[in-house]
Amino acid sequence: MTKKLNFPIPELLAPAGSLEKLKTAVLYGASAVYLGGQRYGLRAAADNFNREQMIMAVQFAHAHGAKVHVVLNAFLHDSDFVGLSEYAKDLRLIGVDSVIVSDLGVIQTVIAAGGPEVHLSTQASCLNASAAKLWKAMGVTRVVLGREASLEDAKAIKLASGLEVEMFVHGSMCMAFSGHCVISNYTQGRDSNRGGCAHSCRHEYRIGLSDSEQEKNSFFMSSKDLEGLRQLKGYVDAGVDSLKIEGRMKSVHYAGTVTRVYAEALAHYAEHGNFLSDRLEEWASELRKVHHRAYTEASLIKPADESSIHNGRDSEGVESAVAGPIVALTKDAMVIEVRKKFRLGEELELVPFRGKSQTFTANRLRTLSDNPLEETKPGSLVKIDLIPGAAEHVLVRSTGI
Amino acid sequence: MKLTYFLRPEDDLVALSKSGVHEVLIGSKALSRLGAFELEQMIEAAKKAKELGLKATLLCDALVSERDFSSFKKRLESVLPFFESARALDPGVMQFLFESSNLKLQFVADTGNHNLPGLLAWEKYFGERLERLVLSIELSKESLHHIIPALKTPCELLVLGRILLFHSPRNLLSPLAGEVSQSDWIEATGASEESPHKGFPLVENLQGSFMFLAKDFCLAEQIDDLKSMGLEYMRFDPTGCSSDLAYEVSSTLLSDSPKLAKELWPNPVIRGFYGVNKSDVLFKKLKNPSRDKTHALAEVLDARKGEPMTVKVLDGSSLKLGLAVKMITPEGKIKEFSISTIKTLDGEVLDAAPERSIVTLQAVGSACVKALLLPNF
Ligand code: SF4
């Protein structure tokens, strides 16, 4: 629990795939972020942080009262250990609050080097209180439970082990027990436990059942995405210490929008002691505005069943896309880095860090040299006349999808 | 080297003991991932194995959620008296056996236990009770050479059998199976429609759903190597072959010509990562992004023909008038120039731009978004 409030709330832990996403998540209400360094993490292809960026990340997060957890969750071979002790010491020096680790060898090395405190990654598949006790003896202070755990499980594990418990509240889910899938190791030479998962579980398969002549095509091992919004009371009652949003590889739109929804819901709880806000439906509809597969509550209440399988290739239709984040303000304009094309006269939506979004019309579009524009191009910077509520990192959305 | 055999209900223990097998792993549907025995049947098999002089090891390698843990424990406790050794994968099951029984313990250190510091830590934690470490088939020959002699606990490695690719707690086949979905064991094969991979054997049982590689793992030709490393136990998983053939393969693996076992085996085989760890190569490649910003001063945010270009000065860097820079586009095109204009976005003229500022520079031909500016020494 992080803040002293009427009703204490858990940490809201958001993904930070880049410094931009980190700032967005923190400004939209994350009380902690997790990010990868350039070594020892699972998201090998993500835009991971170098030392300078990590220092900036810690300074920014701490200045806004948020913690920084660094992911060191790859399973290492002996040759990968070179420099790990020094790296762990350095992370502590930089001020990183914890490291998220799955490999016992890495846990031992980080502890021996006097590195930051160690949280056990979901990749280690800690499923029960008995395992949590063992990991506590190994020196971890928190366990990140797998998506297969229920809220009841979390409560029991926390009570029996005395460890902090972190649980996913939102995002994509691995269909396997975490850490128990090596499909891409053998089919593509990419080690999924060291950052190479090729998402083979999202493929369509032709299945021939042994007792049947027929073959069936199916996305039989693709999971829907987790949405824990309506179970937040359960998370709080179970004593879950940290609510984790999945998605370091996802967009800045995702980082801002999803973080904002859960931050506002938790703020409501902190004030009123319940989640019975008349904004619940609005929050739920916000979560449908980012790219996602159909949502499920997975195993939060009862073991995930057939309804948790996403038998299809596509994401759900999204109702909005980010036009772009505001990257700077001038005397009379907000400068938007365009992510999705929009046109002059189009209705846009400014999403403030707190409170309701406001719609406005893009009446005047300009290049940075003040030449008029009819439409924007992704990747470019454009000026839109300044409106109240504009600030650096605020998201501007396009509603006409 | 001694041979450990994954026992199936249809196998004949007498024939197995004659073939020279040292140990049988007996797994039930309720306690193990892929064992097919009922609990009563398992107890009978354990008793018979012991009478025949075979070591009978309880296979309890299921992954167990907290909600199922107490019923799992009860079932486990009911069979413990019939065994002297137990093998588990879930650290929670290991911890339970460690605290609540006197059995010798075998730890399946296959998923992600790929380094000596971690394996030594398991060894230290379980101490004298740890009878064996079951190593990962993802370890290369080089790693095995280095790891096995450094451990005081005897080690085991699969030398012939299925390669498990995926284990999910969810029931993934029964939704497709219609009537047979009531069964507690469903088998199928899968072919990816999006890659050339096909023939994946699939199983759904009480422990969830499993996918295996179409080819089996075989180190029959490397048994002499493994002996020289000090490996004490080799494991044989006969799934996919008849019992009679399995006995023949067992005795061949223990013979002076173990490599003949590969010829007897009915399925195609691979050596996995024994020879070279392919994953290592890719891991390094993925970690080397082509666009390295380490030495860059600024990144182009906006560029239009004939208009000043807008850049963001990167952390720890600055730009000043007259500075010679080299611009590299994402396609690798290089353009050299000196900075002649710096302005704020409001048009205010500057001599220099500090880190993290967004400023406009003069128009530069071939500038494009995401191009990097580097110092041109
Ligand atoms: S392929 Fe799917 S199940 Fe396997 S590791 Fe990747 S996300 Fe998880």
Between A42 and B259, where is the model more confident?
B259
Chain B residue whose CA is closest to A191? B279
| Ligand 1 probe mutation, A175, A186, A249, A293, most atoms within 8 A of CB | A175
Closest by CA position to B299, among listed B371, B363, B367, B365:
B371
Q: Is the pLDDT confidence value at A3 over 70? A: no
Ligand 1 centroid–CA A64 distance in Å is: 34
**Atom 7, ligand 1: residue with shortest CA distance:** A174
Full-model pTM: 0.91
A200 lines ligand 1 (CB under 6 A): yes
Chain B residue whose CA is closest to A109? B117
Closest CA of chain B from A4, distance in Å: 31
Q: Are the C-beta atoms of residues A144 and A121 closer than 8 Å to each other?
A: yes
Q: What pLDDT does B196 receive?
A: 82
A197 lines ligand 1 (CB under 6 A): yes
Distance CA A79, CA A15 (A): 29
Q: What pLDDT does B212 receive?
A: 97
Structure tokens that stand for B371 in this block? 């191009």
**Rounded (10°) CA dihedral B180, B184, B190, B192:** 110
Residue B283: band (very low, low, confident or very high) from pLDDT cuts 50, 70, 90: very low
Q: What pLDDT does A317 receive?
A: 57
Predicted confidence (pLDDT) per residue in B351-377, tens digit: 999 988 999 999 999 899 889 999 987
Phi and psi based region of residue A121 (left: phi greater than 0; alpha: psi -120 to 50; beta: remaining) = beta
Give the Cβ contact number of residue B229 at 10 Å: 16
Predicted confidence (pLDDT) per residue in B143-186, tens digit: 999 999 999 999 999 999 999 999 999 999 999 887 656 789 99
Cβ pair B282:A138 closer than 8 A = no
Predicted confidence (pLDDT) per residue in B83-109, tens digit: 999 999 999 999 999 999 999 999 999
Q: What pLDDT does B279 receive?
A: 47
Domains (ranges, CATH) in chain A? 11-196+220-308 (3.20.20.380), 322-398 (2.40.30.10)
Query: What are the start-end ranges of the H helices in chain B?
Result: 13-18, 39-51, 66-79, 91-100, 116-126, 141-147, 174-177, 223-229, 243-253, 260-264, 278-286
Q: Is the pLDDT confidence value at A149 over 60? A: yes
Distance CA B369, CA B298 (A): 11
Closest by CA position to A258, among listed A232, A236, A291:
A291
Ligand 1 centroid–CA B123 distance in Å is: 30
Q: What pLDDT does A66 receive?
A: 98
Q: Is the pLDDT confidence value at A199 over 80? A: yes
Q: What pLDDT does B277 receive?
A: 58
Predicted confidence (pLDDT) per residue in A269-299, tens digit: 999 999 999 999 999 999 998 889 999 999 9
Distance CA A262, CA B203 (A): 38
Distance CA A346, CA A360 (A): 9
Mean pLDDT for chain B overall = 93
Residue B143 phi, psi (nearest 5): -65, -45
Predicted confidence (pLDDT) per residue in A227-275, tens digit: 999 999 999 999 999 999 999 989 999 999 999 999 999 999 999 999 9
Q: What sign for the dihedral angle of Cα A320, A323, A325, A328?
A: negative
Q: Are the C-beta atoms of residues B65 and A153 closer than 8 Å to each other?
A: yes
Predicted confidence (pLDDT) per residue in A331-381, tens digit: 999 999 999 899 999 999 999 999 888 999 999 999 998 999 999 999 899
Instruction: Enumerate the domain spans of chain B.
Output: 2-163+215-277, 164-214, 286-375
Cβ pair B286:A189 closer than 8 A = no
A249 lines ligand 1 (CB under 6 A): no
Distance CA A258, CA B187 (A): 40
Distance CA B237, CA B241 (A): 9
Cβ pair B166:A379 closer than 8 A = no
Strand order in the sheet with B208-212: A215-218, A205-209, B185-192, B200-205, B208-212, B164-168
Closest by CA position to B233, among listed B157, B160, B307, B291:
B157
Residue B285: band (very low, low, confident or very high) from pLDDT cuts 50, 70, 90: very low
For the domain covering B2-163+215-277, report its CATH number.
3.20.20.60
CB proximity A377 to B under 8 Å? no
| Ligand 1 probe mutation, A148, A186, A192, A193, most atoms within 8 A of CB | A192
Q: What is the mean pLDDT of residues A114-122?
A: 97
Residue with tokens 């990183």: A96
Q: What pLDDT does A401 receive?
A: 53
Q: What is the mean pLDDT of residues A46-57?
A: 84
Q: What pLDDT does B290 receive?
A: 39
Q: Is the pLDDT confidence value at A198 over 90? A: no
List beta partners, residue A393.
Answer: none
Q: Is the pLDDT confidence value at A10 over 80? A: yes
For the domain covering B286-375, report its CATH number.
2.40.30.10
Q: What is the mean pLDDT of residues B285-304?
A: 72
Classify residue B179 by burial, with Cβ atoms within 10 Å: 0-12, 13-18, 19+.
Answer: exposed
Q: Is the pLDDT confidence value at A47 over 90? A: no
Closest by CA position to A148, among listed A178, A121, A181:
A178
Residue A5: band (very low, low, confident or very high) from pLDDT cuts 50, 70, 90: low
Q: What pLDDT does A316 receive?
A: 63
Distance CA A161, CA A130 (A): 8
Q: Is the pLDDT confidence value at B226 over 80? A: yes
Q: What pLDDT does A319 receive?
A: 56
Q: Is the pLDDT confidence value at A62 over 60? A: yes
Predicted confidence (pLDDT) per residue in A303-318, tens digit: 888 889 898 776 665 6
Residue with tokens 């297969």: A148
Distance CA A144, CA A241 (A): 10
Window from A180-194, B95-109, B118-132, B323-337 with minimum mean pLDDT: A180-194
Q: What is the mean pLDDT of residues B300-325?
A: 92
Highest averaged pLDDT of the listed ranges A212-216, B132-136, B271-275, B292-296: B132-136
Closest by CA position to A12, among listed A1, A24, A22:
A1
Per-position DSSP letters for B67-86, written without gaps between them: HHHHHHHHHHHHHGGG-SEE
Distance CA A138, CA A19 (A): 32
Q: Is the pLDDT confidence value at B127 over 80? A: yes
A223 lines ligand 1 (CB under 6 A): no
List beta partners, residue A34.
Answer: A15, A69
Q: Are the C-beta atoms of residues B299 and B371 closer than 8 Å to each other?
A: yes
Cβ pair A179:B112 closer than 8 A = yes
Q: What pLDDT does B179 receive?
A: 64
CB proximity A277 to B under 8 Å? no
